[in-house]
Amino acid sequence: MNNSTITRLSKLRGAAAAVGVLATVALAGCATGSASPETNERRPEQVQAFEVKLDDGRSVLCVWAKSGYGGGLSCDWARAVTD
């Protein structure tokens, strides 16, 4: 290789390194904040907790929540206990 080819390769290598650094900085700017899961700061307007007694003798803790037009019922079936 002659000197002009080596000079061109050096410039090309330097340009590729600069593009790599810029890409890394640009992508790092997208990852702001903590790594913890996002929390929803909105709270339901109405919440009621109650125990449901089943025919087989178990009881299950359930929670009913309503917010605006949405809402729902959630029960802890994994911890259903026999009285």
What pTM value is reported for the model?
0.46
Report domain extents, the chain: 1-32, 44-83
SS (H, E, C) the chain: CCHHHHHHHHHHHHHHHHHHHHHHHHHHCCCCCCCCCCCCCCCCCEEEEEEEECCCCEEEEEEEEEECCEEEEEECHHHCEEC
* Local confidence pLDDT in tens for the 83 residues of the chain: 666 666 666 666 666 665 555 556 555 555 455 555 556 667 778 899 999 999 999 999 999 998 888 889 999 999 998 87
Model pLDDT, residue 12: 63
